[in-house]
Amino acid sequence: MSDRAYQLFEEQQKERGIDLAQVKERLKALKVETPSWGYADQGTRFKTFQKVGVPRNTFEKLEDAAQVHKFTGVCPTVAVHIPWDKVSDYSALKAHAESLGIGIGAVNPNLFQDDDYMLGSVTNSNPAIRRKATEHLLECVEIARTVGSKDLSLWFADGTNYPGQADIRKRVVWMYECLKEMYDAMDDDMRMLIEYKFYEPAFYHTDLADWGMAFNMANKLGPKAEVLVDTGHHPMGTNIEHIVAYLLGEKKLGGFHFNSRKYGDDDLIVGSINPYELFLIFYQILDAERDADPGVAANAARIAYMIDQSHNIEEKIPAMIRSVLNVQTQLAKALLINFDELREAQERQDVLAAENAVRSAFECDVTPLLRAVREEMGVPADPMKAYLASGYAEKIAARGKGGASW
Ligand code: AOS
Ligand code: ZN
Ligand code: ZN
Ligand code: ZN
C-alpha cells in the first residue's frame, strides 16, 4: 500500500519536474533543536498545570528529548536555559547527553527571573545590576564551552511599562556595552543569536522590539552576532517570510524559534495554526540556498532551527514529536517547489504562474515521501504512533507529579 502510494507520488513529482533523490537528501539533513523547557511543566500567568511524568531535573529533560530524537531522527540537540538547567557539573550533563545519543545545543541565559531585573537587566540604569547581568552572560559563554555548544541564544524581557519610565536611548547603549563584553569573550566559532519581541512582559516599549533593532545590534557587534526570528514575536499581519528573506540577503539570519500564534506570543505547536506561513518561510530559505552569492547560500545552510513552545495542556513528548513532524512536513512541501519553473515565471513577469509554482507545491500530499525518507533514515514511518506504542509514557509515569517547572 505505502509502496504504491510512493510510486504514484514519484510519478506525479517527475511530471512536475522534481528530482526526489535531491529532495530526500535535503530532508535528511534537517535538524531541529528542541528546548529543555518544553519538557517541563509550563503554564500561563493564570495557572501552571502539573502533569504526571514530567522530568524532575535537567538530566531527565535530556532523557525525554532523546526519545523525540529516537522516534523522529531529526532532533540531535537540546537547548538549555540557565538557571533552569543549572547543574553543579556541566561536563556530567554533556556526558549524559552523549550517552543518550544527543548533544547540548543553544545555551539560553535567563535575565528575567530575578527581582533585580524588574526594571531591566542589561538596560538597567543601575550599573551594579548591569554588571550582574553581564556576569551571567559571561557565565553562559563558559557553560557553552564546557558543554561543547557553539550557540548562545539571547532573549531580553527588558523594556518599560509607561511613557517616561526610562531613557530609551541610554538603554540601547547600555545593552550594547554588556553584549560587547560577552561578544568579546566568545570563541571565534561561537554565535550570538539575538531574539526580538515587540511586547511582553514589558507593555510600553521593549528594548529589542523588532528584527531591525536586533539586526542593528548584531551588525554593531560583528560577524559572530546574528538575528533570531521567533515566529510568535510579531504584530498581527507581519510578513515573517519577508523578514527571513531580508535577513538572508544580509547574511544575518542566525536561527528560528518555531511556534504558532493566533494572537500574541501564544507559543502553540508550530504549524498548527498557519502552516502556509511556515511553508513560505522554508520557500525563502530554499531559495536562498540556491543564491548565486555564496555568502547568502552559506547563511541559509547554517540556520539554527529551534522550537520554542509552551505545552500547557498537551502531553509534552507527543507535543514535541508533533511539532517536529510539522516542521519536517512544511520543509518537504517547500522542497517540491520547482525553482526553475518559478524563476522562468518571474522572468516572464507572469504573476499567476509564479504564484502557482509556489502554491502547487504546498498543495501536494507529502505523506508517502516522509514515510519513505523515515524508512531510509531507520526511524519509524509513523513516529507518533511508534512513540505512543513504545511504553515510555507509562515508564515515566513513575516520576509522579510535581516535576520541574520550566
Ligand atoms: C520569550 O518570549 C522568548 O521566546 C524566549 O525565547 C524565551 O527565552 C523562551 O521562550 C524561554 O522562556
Ligand atoms: Zn523564543
Ligand atoms: Zn516568545
Ligand atoms: Zn514563543
Tell me what ipTM this predicted complex has: 0.94
**Is 277 a pocket residue for ligand 1 (Cβ < 6 Å)?**
no
Distance between Cα 159 and ligand 3 center (Å): 15
Distance between Cα 267 and ligand 1 center (Å): 9
Which ligand is closest in space to the CA of residue 261? 4
Looking up cell 539560553 gives 108
**Is 85 a pocket residue for ligand 1 (Cβ < 6 Å)?**
no
Confidence (pLDDT) at 377: 98
Q: Whose CA is nearest to atom 3 of ligand 1?
A: 155
Q: Interior CA angle at 265 toward 107 and 31, to 5°?
A: 45
Confidence (pLDDT) at 66: 98
Cell of 339: 525553482
Q: Whose CA is nearest to atom 1 of ligand 1?
A: 155
For 319-345, b where at least 16 C-beta lie within 10 A, e where not — what string? bbbbbbbbbbbbbbbbbbbbbebbeeb
**Is 197 a pocket residue for ligand 1 (Cβ < 6 Å)?**
yes
How many CA atoms lie less than 13 Å away from 276 in the CB half-sphere?
A: 5
Looking up cell 530526500 gives 24
Distance between Cα 189 and ligand 4 center (Å): 27
Confidence (pLDDT) at 3: 86
Atom of ligand 1 nearest to the CA of 265: 2
Confidence (pLDDT) at 325: 98
Domains in the chain (CATH in brackets) are: 8-399 (3.20.20.150)
Confidence (pLDDT) at 405: 87
**Is 261 a pocket residue for ligand 1 (Cβ < 6 Å)?**
no
Task: Tell whether pTM > 0.95.
Answer: yes
Distance between Cα 233 and ligand 2 center (Å): 8
Confidence (pLDDT) at 406: 84
Q: Whose CA is nearest to atom 9 of ligand 1?
A: 308
Are 334 and 287 in contact by the 8 Å Cβ rule? The answer is no
pLDDT along the chain (406 residues), means of 10: 88 97 98 98 91 97 98 98 97 98 98 98 98 98 98 98 98 98 98 98 98 98 99 98 99 98 96 98 98 98 98 96 98 99 98 98 98 98 98 97 89
Q: What crossing angle do the helices spanning 316-334 and 275-289 adopt, rounded to 10°?
A: 50
Contacts of 104 (CB under 8 A, 6+ apart): 77, 78, 80, 93, 94, 97, 147, 148, 149
**Beta-bridge mates of residue 398:** none
Q: Whose CA is nearest to atom 8 of ligand 1?
A: 155
Q: Whose CA is nearest to atom 5 of ligand 1?
A: 155
Pocket test for ligand 1, best of 44, 195, 210, 258 (most atoms within 8 A of CB): 195
